[in-house]
Amino acid sequence: MYDTIVFADFDGTITMEDTLVGAIRLFAGEEEFQEYNQKLTKGEMTLSQVVRYAFDGAPSDRLPRMLEYVRSVPLRPGFEDFLDEMDRRGVPVVVISGGMRQFVEQTLAPFRDRLLGLHAVDLDVSGPQMRLISAYDDGNELLKKTDVMALYEYRHAVGIGDSFTDRNMSRAVDTIFARDILAQYLEKLGEPYLPYETFYDVIRQFPEPQAKGS
């Protein structure tokens, strides 16, 4: 049982760009991309459907080009210092991504031993065509983050996110750091959140340990 735990999104949170979106745009025409982005925004398609449309059945030989792109995406400033601060506080960090495992593991390889867990969608490229594998696909989220959170025992949870995939997570934690689409979503609901642009903002506003029994 952990007293406090952090659940952090990857795309657009740890990274400065959403690498899942960026990888899709490498091979999708702009008109097609905008069409499906609008369907997602309007709720006409789920995130799971959009991502599966983009990846399932696509040529496996696209992966090296995608990984090359992912390597070019910088980390959000302060991430390593954030991990240092969490180490100092004894707070474990779990990364939960609705993106591809290859993208996340490549980027976070230097920090992997400092993370309690890393969860992402498996992209099978063993055959000529890509195939997505997720044990936590509920038809809406390709990787339902609250199901992954349930694998851990903790008293208080802090979430860090930025987009559609973090909406349910944001309602299931005690404190949520939000920016971009997630912040807009929480504002519409009138839900409290802590804004951030860098991990230095997260460090500065990170909640103090709560008293036992609180």
**199 falls within a domain:** yes
How many folded domains does the chain comprise? 1
Angle at 112 between CA 199 and CA 3, to 5 degrees: 65
Q: What is the pTM of this model?
A: 0.93
Contact 44, 130 (CB under 8 A): no
**203: phi then psi, degrees, rounded to nearest 5:** -60, -45
**68 falls within a domain:** no
E-state strands within the chain: 2-8, 93-100, 117-124, 131-133, 154-161, 175-178, 194-195
Instruction: Look up the domain containing 166 and give its range.
Output: 2-18+73-205
Contact 106, 85 (CB under 8 A): no
Total residues belonging to the chain? 214
159-203 pLDDT, tens digit each: 999 998 899 999 999 999 999 999 999 999 999 999 999 999 999
39-64 pLDDT, tens digit each: 887 888 888 888 898 899 999 999 99
**34 falls within a domain:** no
Contact 50, 81 (CB under 8 A): no
72-94 pLDDT, tens digit each: 999 999 999 999 999 999 999 99
3-27 pLDDT, tens digit each: 999 999 999 999 999 999 899 888 8
Domain with residue 176: its CATH number is 3.40.50.1000
**50 falls within a domain:** no
**153 falls within a domain:** yes
**129 falls within a domain:** yes
* Helix %, strand %, coil % of the chain (to 5): 45, 20, 35
Q: In the numeric block, which tokens belong to residue 161?
A: 């996110």
Contact 196, 205 (CB under 8 A): yes
Listed in sequence order, the residues at least 6 apart from 86 whose beta carbon sits closer than 8 Å to its beta carbon are 6, 92, 93
Half-sphere exposure of 203 (CA within 13 A, CB side): 16
Q: How far, in Å, CA of 64 to CA of 125, rounded?
A: 11
**52 falls within a domain:** no
Q: How many beta carbons lie within 10 A of that of residue 184, not counting itself?
A: 12
